[in-house]
Amino acid sequence: MDQGSFPPLIRVAICGGTHGNEMSGVYMVREMQRQKLDQAGSVSITAVLSNPRAVDACRRYIDRDLNRCFTDALLSTPITDSTPYELIRARELNTQLGPKGSPEAVDILCDLHNTTANMGLCLIFYSLDWISLHIYKYIQSKMTSEPVRAIQLDIPLSEAYSLESVGKHGFAIEVGPQPNGVLRADIFNIVKEAVDLTIEWIQGFNSGNTFEGGEVEAYTLVKSVDYPRDPSTNEMTAAIHPQLQDKDFQLLQLGDPVFLSFSGETVKHEGEELYPFFVNECAYYEKKIAFHLARKITLTFPSISVKKD
Amino acid sequence: MDQGSFPPLIRVAICGGTHGNEMSGVYMVREMQRQKLDQAGSVSITAVLSNPRAVDACRRYIDRDLNRCFTDALLSTPITDSTPYELIRARELNTQLGPKGSPEAVDILCDLHNTTANMGLCLIFYSLDWISLHIYKYIQSKMTSEPVRAIQLDIPLSEAYSLESVGKHGFAIEVGPQPNGVLRADIFNIVKEAVDLTIEWIQGFNSGNTFEGGEVEAYTLVKSVDYPRDPSTNEMTAAIHPQLQDKDFQLLQLGDPVFLSFSGETVKHEGEELYPFFVNECAYYEKKIAFHLARKITLTFPSISVKKD
């Protein structure tokens, strides 16, 4: 594979509070704003509290999930008096950090999230982005306290719905387990280390370092699984089985327990062997998702360095 | 100490969803309702979803904390068009399960709660209630999977603000850690076991068994501790220290770390050696409580049996 070269990565946005009850990002952004941390060597940093109203209410969102509002279609819908708050806020963020897909967009957008699932630290990104893959590889090689994984969503940019899609390059950092509305120092420190390593890598890149290509493992979504429900009331009749709870990214084999009903029966995994993730994520109850299932893939990427003028 | 005798305990209420995002109680009550579990031997059981609107919204409450609405003063405040939903609902529950302090009240009211703190299983009750202490001792002797503790709030009945004060005897069952809005099967099973043991003890009591008196340990609130804050903005500047996180009921000694600031400084415990509990409870952020501190006490209680007609 050839070597790639990219223009320097000057403008970086670190966003938190896109979901108002995911506290690591909220406090990380506030701390960066308090320290007026807006320049790190060659890198100009903007720390953005994405959904301030939801943060004030300590809720995921006010009217609708902000992190599903960044498709081209939603960003171009006319605004009226009845437009949900998050669609208006998405437009503001797209003006400040984008416009999405344009030369004016920030070079890197990193959006900080938490999950109640035991997922450790995950980088989530769309399609194949070599910059994001190099940052992932760098964080993984430097961080020893926590497993570091990558999740790749195979969605074209125009349909990409989440905030990180507004940057020229972008990824979400997802860390758990942490309850919504709670700030844990151990999780905060993991997020802080990941942000620091991201900025460190960008500085190294801008200063002319060549980063070797290679291979990394990533997980790619195959399907989502809902909770068992009572057919008449549609209410859940089972919880995640204790043997699956907290076992994100551990291969689920035929016959492994996945649900435990409230009356004590075990429901077992059927079909293909896949990797569960977002197991018992709080915000996915309303989306009718008990867990996602992924396939493990290998991503290959070239050496890269900064493009000389 | 003399032996006590009490009338049979016939009417028992099991309540859940008093806080609408504490899911063990919500699903426990729904399952009891689904199974139409309204009689267990001598015991008549009512399973009550306390705050259905908050449950539907998956929030702690709609207008104000229902579990602070059961003082005599609030229960007798006139209702107007602007009365908060939870005050109206408190009145309904007091009619259904009380009235508080009257001969018509249910014999035992058990209210199911969750906490994000690592508190295991706790029974929380007001003043000295021999029935509750015997049930506590019974659960503690039978349950091996989880530490079982008691917290005693020293508040006179008229000022007692929580739902369990409506019953002739009452206690809250508090189980954690579980994130708000999430149902964990392991935590659900602990709650279910505690409810089953409570009903089992009541049946034994009604059938004429004498339960031996004795001593139990309990924790009694000394004071609450807020997070460190920026004096100008009032925003939190630190999280619970990783060495205190998840260490509920482990004696806090002079100099032990309690907070870790976002810039990395450790704040240490000063003053009396006490036991922390409700460490990093989600719902207490808005109450400006990082953790409570308790003293350990010994409660002595007599043998009891049912009063013969």
More confident residue, B157 or B67: B67
Give pLDDT tens digits for A72-110.
999 999 999 999 999 999 999 999 999 999 999 999 999
A242/B185 Cβ within 8 A: yes
A188/B242 Cβ within 8 A: no
Question: What pLDDT sits at residue A286?
Answer: 93
Q: How far apart are CA A253 and CA B308, in angstroms?
A: 59
Indicate the residue of A27, A31, A241 with minimum beta-carbon distance to B185.
Answer: A241
Q: Directed axis angle between helix B185-206 and helix B23-34, to 10°?
A: 60
CB A289 within 8 A of CB A281: yes
Question: What pLDDT sits at residue B155?
Answer: 85
Give, rounded to a whole angstrom, the gap between the first and last alpha carbons of chain A.
Answer: 23
Q: What is the arithmetic mean of pLDDT over B47-54?
A: 98
* Residue B62 touches chain A, beta carbons under 8 Å: no
DSSP-derived secondary structure for B252-308: B-TT-EEEEETTS-EEE--SS-BEEESTT-GGGTTTT-SEEEEEEEEEEE--EEEPP
Interface of B with A in 175-234 (CB under 8 A): 177-186, 188-189, 230
Give pLDDT tens digits for A126-147.
878 899 999 999 999 999 888 9
Chain B residues in contact with A282 by the CB 8 A cut-off are 179-182
CB B253 within 8 A of CB B127: no
3-state secondary structure B80-109: CCCCCHHHHHHHHHHHHHCCCCCCCCCCEE
Q: How far apart are CA A284 and CA A236, in angstroms?
A: 13
Torsion region of A303: left, alpha or beta (phi above 0 gives left; psi -120 to 50 gives alpha)? beta
Question: What pLDDT sits at residue A8?
Answer: 96
Q: What percent of chain B has pLDDT over 70?
A: 99
More confident residue, A295 or B154: A295
A282/B240 Cβ within 8 A: no
**What is the distance in angstroms between the Cα of A42 and the nearest Cα belonging to chain B?**
23
CB pairs under 8 A between A and B: 92
For residue B156, give Cα distances in angstroms to A223, B71, B136, B160, B163.
55, 10, 21, 6, 14
Q: Where are the alpha helices (DSSP H) in chain A?
A: 23-34, 52-57, 72-75, 85-97, 130-142, 185-206
B260/A185 Cβ within 8 A: yes
CA-nearest residue to A191 within chain B is B262
Q: How far apart are CA A27 and CA A123, in angstroms?
A: 19
Chain B residues in contact with A184 by the CB 8 A cut-off are 239-240, 242, 245, 280
Q: What is the arithmetic mean of pLDDT over B191-210?
A: 97
SS3 A291: strand
Kindly list the structural domains of chain B, giving each domain's residue range(s) and its CATH number in brackets, ordered by start. 4-217+299-306 (3.40.630.10), 222-295 (2.20.25.160)
Q: How confident is the model at residue B2 (pLDDT cuts 50, 70, 90)?
A: low
A15: which strand partners?
A48, A111
**What is the distance in angstroms between the Cα of A210 and the nearest Cα belonging to chain B?**
32
Chain A residues in contact with B182 by the CB 8 A cut-off are 116, 179, 280, 282, 285
A245/B185 Cβ within 8 A: yes
More confident residue, B225 or B41: B225
Q: Dig out the tokens for B60 from the structure.
A: 């702690």
Give pLDDT tens digits for B249-273.
999 999 999 999 999 999 999 999 9
Interface of A with B in 102-161 (CB under 8 A): 116
Question: What pLDDT sits at residue A2?
Answer: 60
> What is residue A228's DSSP assignment?
P
Pairing of strands B275-277, A214-225: unpaired
Q: What is the arithmetic mean of pLDDT over B72-87?
A: 95
Q: Suggest the residue from A260, A282, A286 to mutate for an interface test with chain B (most B CBs closer than 10 A).
A: A282
Question: What pLDDT sits at residue A309?
Answer: 66
**Cβ contacts of B304 within 8 Å, gap of 6 or more:** B3, B4, B5, B6, B130, B131, B134, B205, B210, B211, B213
Indicate the residue of B30, B180, B239 with minimum beta-carbon distance to A181.
Answer: B180
**What is the distance in angstroms between the Cα of B178 and the nearest Cα belonging to chain A?**
8
Report the length, in residues, of chain A: 309
Q: What is the arithmetic mean of pLDDT over B291-299?
A: 97
Q: Phi/psi at B267 (nearest 5 deg)?
A: -105, 135
> What is residue A178's DSSP assignment?
-
Question: What pLDDT sits at residue A54?
Answer: 98
Decide if pLDDT at B302 tops 80: yes
CA-nearest residue to A192 within chain B is B262
CB A116 within 8 A of CB B179: yes
Predicted interface score ipTM higher than 0.95: no
Of A4, A10, A8, which is closest to residue A304 (Cα–Cα)? A4
Chain B residues in contact with A116 by the CB 8 A cut-off are 179, 181-182
For residue A298, give Cα distances in angstroms to A215, A253, A288, A303.
6, 21, 29, 16
**Cβ contacts of A214 within 8 Å, gap of 6 or more:** A137, A300, A301
Decide if pLDDT at B203 tops 60: yes
Q: Suggest the residue from A118, A145, A182 to mutate for an interface test with chain B (most B CBs closer than 10 A).
A: A182
Give, rounded to a whole angstrom, the gap between the first and last alpha carbons of chain B.
Answer: 23
**Cβ contacts of B176 within 8 Å, gap of 6 or more:** B114, B115, B116, B117, B118, B119, B120, B187
Give pLDDT < 70 ranges for chain A: 1-2, 309
B116/A185 Cβ within 8 A: no
Question: What pLDDT sits at residue B1?
Answer: 52
Decide if pLDDT at B151 tops 80: yes
Of A165, A280, A294, which is closest to residue A217 (Cα–Cα)? A294
> What is residue A236's DSSP assignment?
B
Q: Dig out the tokens for B130 from the structure.
A: 């021999």
pTM value is 0.95
A236/B182 Cβ within 8 A: no
Mean pLDDT of chain B: 95
